[in-house]
Amino acid sequence: MAFYGGNFEGLESEFNTAMQNYMATLEFEPEYVQALDYAITQGYELPSHEVQIAQNKAIKRLILSGIWDTYDLFYLLASDSREFSKINLKSPNTFYLGES
């Protein structure tokens, strides 16, 4: 991609990264989108986009392997959002992890 009429050094790389992240969002599994929607309705801070992509990939692999359907609960504690990591991703409105 070429840019004309100004100094846009580095812009192409940033644009490509943004487009890759956006395209990855379009491919999020419905199961993960359900958890994101729940977090939004609760006013929770969402994980960064990079973490969302990684978490979605993990869920997608579990779904494709057939393991996802065997779980009643599933938490991804490796997150940059403390609140989001406490959501039961298998069923977002149930079994929220509390703190003691």
Render pLDDT for 58-88 as a digit per residue (tens, 0 to 9): 999 999 999 999 999 999 998 999 999 999 9
Distances (CA, A) of 56 to 1, 4, 52, 79: 29, 37, 6, 12
Give this prediction's pTM. 0.74
Alpha helices in 1-100 (DSSP H): 11-26, 30-42, 49-65, 82-85
Render pLDDT for 2-44 as a digit per residue (tens, 0 to 9): 444 455 566 667 777 777 666 666 789 999 999 999 999 999 9
Distances (CA, A) of 73 to 8, 61, 76: 47, 16, 10
